[in-house]
Amino acid sequence: MKHPNHHQLIARFQELRDLCLGLSGGLSSLASDLQKGELRQLEATEASVASLRQQYETLKKDVIAFAAPYQAIPDPGGITSLGTLEPLLLAVNQSMKAAAMQVLDQVRFVKHREQTTFVPLMTCLSSASELQRAIAQVPLPDLHPEVGALADGTHPLAVFMSLILDRRHMKEEKIAAIQDVMIAGAFDNLLFIAALMGKLIIEEQGGKEVGTKAQNVSEPDTVKTSEAAVIPSEPEEILEQRQILQDLLTMTEMKIQKLLKNGLVREEELSSFVAAMKKMEASRYRKSDFKEDFRQLQTIRAALEEIENKAFNPRKRLERTEAQRR
């Protein structure tokens, strides 16, 4: 059975969110009827609640299955709401996008040992650069169609990099398969030959060549994207905190977009939050201390949670709707 992809899961998230909003209004009407001793809506409401629960459990199962290859899920039982399930999907998509961008970042450092203007390589680098820009322009939780293949190592650019790094340890069948993938991906056959002959290298920013890794016999032939030989120039702790900040900014942006899309808040009400987040986004590479950003972002997220909680309260939602009409 084929598992749903991230696009389908995102659509189902939105559909389920809309059903929750609709049912909250129905429950308010049911409460009014029950106060009068009327039970005519009870059966239909029970059926709607049961259907909503079943759809949620199915979505939860599919999201966990989708996330499992990318990250550990220590406590699936702790996932009890859309609010706790949705970040899991976002985290997976963030990881996939980061892995894809890591492959493309590494492609930029490929050089020819002898020719500075090796045309097939120049064409390849140009294509990789265009793809990188296209992927960067797709906002999370959506992903560019080619992210998945880059992340799992089946994209022509990914197998091209694996050939450069591991050609000495590959079997003939694997090399032949890589040639087929590269040609199918519109690469010049001269590029494949140059990589196979060791004429292409990955050069670090300081001009030092990245060596190929010695492959363990127990490891598969496929090179994982996490094994990219890009050496960070900053302490690991700073890189990790910067990535956490980026993930939180992405998740908060997604929450803002959902609030706006569902009409739960006006855009001008969130303008100060958006401006502060843009400032964090623009300055994160110039910082080594993110404590103030984390504190400010926590305040923003708490405010957004309060807005969402009030919106899902039927009485508060009705008061807000009436206020907007005035």
* CA 9 – CA 15 distance, rounded (Å): 10
* CA 133 – CA 146 distance, rounded (Å): 12
Higher pLDDT, 26 or 217: 26
Establish whether the linkage from the previous residue to 141 is cis, with ω within 30° of 0: yes
Which range among 42-51, 145-154, 252-261, 313-322 shows the weakest confidence by mean pLDDT? 313-322
φ and ψ of 163, to 5 deg: -65, -40
Query: Where do the domains of the chain lie?
Result: 1-67, 96-227, 233-326
* CA 192 – CA 173 distance, rounded (Å): 15
Q: What is the mean pLDDT of residues 14-41?
A: 77
Could you report the per-residue pLDDT of 160-206, keeping only the tens digit for each? 999 998 888 888 788 888 888 887 777 888 888 888 888 898 876 44
Most confident of the following: 113-127, 254-268, 308-322: 113-127
76 secondary structure, DSSP code = G
> Whole-number mean pLDDT of the chain?
77
Residues above pLDDT 70, as percent of the chain? 81
Please, are residues 93 and 247 in contact by the beta-carbon 8 Å criterion? no
Beta bridge partners of 112: 200
SS3 content of the chain, % helix, strand, coil (to 5): 70, 5, 30
Residue 218's pLDDT is 32
Q: What is the mean pLDDT of residues 45-58?
A: 84
φ and ψ of 201, to 5 deg: -130, 160
Confidence of residue 132 (pLDDT cuts 50, 70, 90): very high
- State CA 272 to chain mean position distance: 25
* CA 116 – CA 114 distance, rounded (Å): 7
Higher pLDDT, 142 or 273: 273
Q: Which amino acid is at 59?
A: L
Higher pLDDT, 206 or 47: 47
Residue 209's pLDDT is 57
- State CA 41 to chain mean position distance: 41
Confidence of residue 49 (pLDDT cuts 50, 70, 90): confident
Residue 244's pLDDT is 74
Residue 57's pLDDT is 87
Residue 313's pLDDT is 62
* CA 258 – CA 14 distance, rounded (Å): 9
DSSP-derived pairing of the beta strands 200-203 and 209-210: antiparallel
Confidence of residue 309 (pLDDT cuts 50, 70, 90): confident
Residues above pLDDT 90, as percent of the chain? 11
| C-beta atoms surrounding 180 within 10 Å | 13
- State CA 18 to chain mean position distance: 22
Residue 52's pLDDT is 83
Which tokens belong to 218? Answer: 């127990």
